[in-house]
Structure 1
Amino acid sequence: MADLAPAHRDAYLELTRRRRLYGGLLLIIFVAMMAAGFRLAESRNAGGFIDGLPMLLAFPSEVLAEAWQKRANLPGLIVAHLPSLIETLNIAAVSTILGGLIAMILALLSTRGLARWPRLTGVFRRLMDALRAMPEIVIALVLIYILGGGPVPAVAAISLHTAGALGKLFSEVAENADLKPVEGLASVGGRWSQQVWLGVLPQVAPNWLSYALMRFEINLRASAILGFVGSGGIGYDLKLAMQWGGGRYDEVVAIFLLLFAAIVTIDRISDHARSRLVKG
């Protein structure tokens, strides 16, 4: 027994040294990649990043100064852009619902031990990977070229990306579910849909709803960003206001304040709802 203690101690010290070595190597590689990426970006930049640092706050200062001079206009501008904010909220909500429904189907079809067609599990997983890999703005630009501007391309783009992202999360939750109820339902002749509806969904519903609420927050921001490429909503109004430049910076600040207030409010509400769903 006395000989085992030094052996365990030496093995532990060797493992610790190896971890420190690997950690140091990874840190060196990370720093080298960051430095190389910065030098490449600096060489391709029209100006100079270092030379432009003193101007970093110049544009925000100009925007805030003009907005302060016209601060009396802010309440009216906020009210005027409320319809655009509602459109953005609708885009985010519809995208989350559609993407969530598709994600539920893909998750159930790609969950090991639960899939309806086990041989196709890999196919559905790769499909979710593909949907998750495509940025919303790329999909939106393609759909805008085909369908024209408006909220429909934004809804389709965000829904597809949401399906891939939520499908991955939903599948991981479903894989951790207890399959004993499913086995019991199967033993008495329950169909696959009944096994899922009665044996799996009651277990995963709180976490699925929690992830869906979190995704709604993300989709709200995404729908605002897609407005810059012509997908409607408050992002499009912000793009127009910034394109006009000086003279409309009070409108830019009003839109930012409205969007910020909406995001913070939804974040707080969804955080509270997720906490209630998961913790009870």
Structure 2
Amino acid sequence: MTMTTADGIKADYMAQRRQKQMYSGLLLIIFVALLVSSFRLANDRNAGGFFDGLHRVLDFPTELLTEALQKITLLPANLARFLPALIETINIAAVSTLIGALLAMVLSLLSTRGLALWPRAIPLFRRMMDVMRAVPEVVIALVLIFILGGGPVPAMIAIAFHTAGALGKQFSEVNENADLKPVEGLASVGGSWFQRMWLGVVPQVAPNYLSYALMRFEINVRASAILGFVGAGGIGYELKIAIGWGQGRYDAAAAIFLLLFLTIVAIDQISSHYRNKLVKGH
């Protein structure tokens, strides 16, 4: 009787395993088919065929590096020349991260069960955050540039808007793990909602908040540089001009690439260090 039961369990397990493998295989086939069809569609809509231009993929990096090496003596001057634009890019990222994180903190508290000021409005605040992080920064920046004109302000607003949605989702997940006993204690002595959140919740979640905000700051530096290509100022705008001039200005483009690379690496190392200290305590 025991052997029969064991054989039955084994047979059921093998049947489930085969079914799972079959479903996994079907999903893989569907994924590959969608990937191939999407590639063919993109290739047909492209101005030039992908494979027709594949042999030229290294032409631009080669030309850029060749000209940069030929004008290597101009590198220090170019680095000093574009440093103010880099500082502007970092400032845009820093301000937008700060504004976005503050807005995300409020939205996350309003959308967390057990903490929300208006529990029935939780779905509304969650959908707001969904919309905020669903719309790319470049789309928001293009709309704002059309309204406000070019410059760092549209970039800052666009990045802060997207950051609020992205961080709000992460902050709300952190809030769900907060201990509610301090909140209940403050409520029992007549504490307002703001006092309950500020004194009962924020001290618990602040290290994770700061960790996520630092990680987002790294992302926003890159986003700020990219938005420069659409006229939002900063070092991305300088890079667009340098590349647009073509040969003869590639030394300037190489200097900008080098500045961006060094900055992103430095920010990544510094923020990783402080994230580890905040989360792990060492």
Q: Same fold (TM over 0.5)?
A: yes
2-side partners of 1:265 and 1:148: how far apart? 32
- Aligned-residue CA RMSD in angstroms? 1.2
User: Where in structure 2 are there 5+ consecutive unaligned residues?
Assistant: none
2-side partners of 1:45 and 1:234: how far apart? 29
Q: Which residue of 1 aligns with 2:56?
A: 55
78-87 or 18-27, which moves further after superposition?
A: 18-27
Q: What is the Cα deviation at residue 4 of structure 1?
A: 4.1
1-side partners of 2:190 and 2:9: how far apart? 54
Q: Which residue of 2 aligns with 1:154?
A: 155
Q: Which residue of 2 aligns with 1:8?
A: 9
Q: Which SS does the other structure have where 2:221 is aligned? A: helix
Alignment of 1:191-202 (within 5 A): 191-202=192-203
2-side partners of 1:73 and 1:139: how far apart? 37
1-side partners of 2:24 and 2:191: how far apart? 51
Q: What is the Cα deviation at residue 84 of structure 1?
A: 0.5
Q: Which SS does the other structure have where 2:68 is aligned? A: helix
Q: Which residue of 2 aligns with 1:266?
A: 267
Alignment of 1:17-166 (within 5 A): 17-166=18-167
Q: What is the Cα deviation at residue 146 of structure 1?
A: 0.4
TM-score, normalized by length of structure 1? Answer: 0.97
Please say if 1:218 is aligned against 2:206: no
Aligned residue identity for 2:171: F
77-86 or 180-189, which moves further after superposition?
A: 180-189
1-side partners of 2:113 and 2:20: how far apart? 33
Aligned residue identity for 1:265: A
Q: Which SS does the other structure have where 1:176 is aligned? A: coil
1-side partners of 2:155 and 2:196: how far apart? 35
Q: What is the Cα deviation at residue 234 of structure 1?
A: 0.4
Aligned residue identity for 2:98: I
Q: What is the Cα deviation at residue 195 of structure 1?
A: 1.6
Q: What is the Cα deviation at residue 175 of structure 1?
A: 1.1
Aligned residue identity for 1:276: K
Q: What is the Cα deviation at residue 188 of structure 1?
A: 2.9
TM-score, normalized by length of structure 2? Answer: 0.96
Alignment of 1:183-194 (within 5 A): 183-194=184-195
2-side partners of 1:114 and 1:11: how far apart? 45
2-side partners of 1:135 and 1:259: how far apart? 21
Q: What is the Cα deviation at residue 15 of structure 1?
A: 2.6
Q: What is the Cα deviation at residue 196 of structure 1?
A: 1.1
Q: Which SS does the other structure have where 1:81 is aligned? A: helix
Over residues 172-212 of structure 1, what are the superposed CA-to-partner deviations in whole Å (9 max), with x where a residue is unaligned?
A: 11012222222222233222222212221121111111000
Q: Which SS does the other structure have where 1:47 is aligned? A: coil
Aligned residue identity for 2:245: W
How many residues end up aligned between the 2 structures?
280
Aligned residue identity for 1:103: A
User: Where in structure 1 are there 5+ consecutive unaligned residues?
Assistant: none
2-side partners of 1:260 and 1:221: how far apart? 10
Please say if 1:179 is aligned against 2:180: yes
2-side partners of 1:170 and 1:82: how far apart? 34
Q: What is the Cα deviation at residue 8 of structure 1?
A: 3.1
1-side partners of 2:224 and 2:28: how far apart? 36
Q: Which SS does the other structure have where 2:248 is aligned? A: coil
Compared with structure 1, are the counterparts of its residues 12 and 203 closer, same or farther at alpha carbon in structure 2 (3 Å cutoff)? Answer: farther
Compared with structure 1, are the counterparts of its residues 207 and 52 closer, same or farther at alpha carbon in structure 2 (3 Å cutoff)? Answer: same
Q: What is the Cα deviation at residue 10 of structure 1?
A: 2.9
Q: Which SS does the other structure have where 2:253 is aligned? A: helix
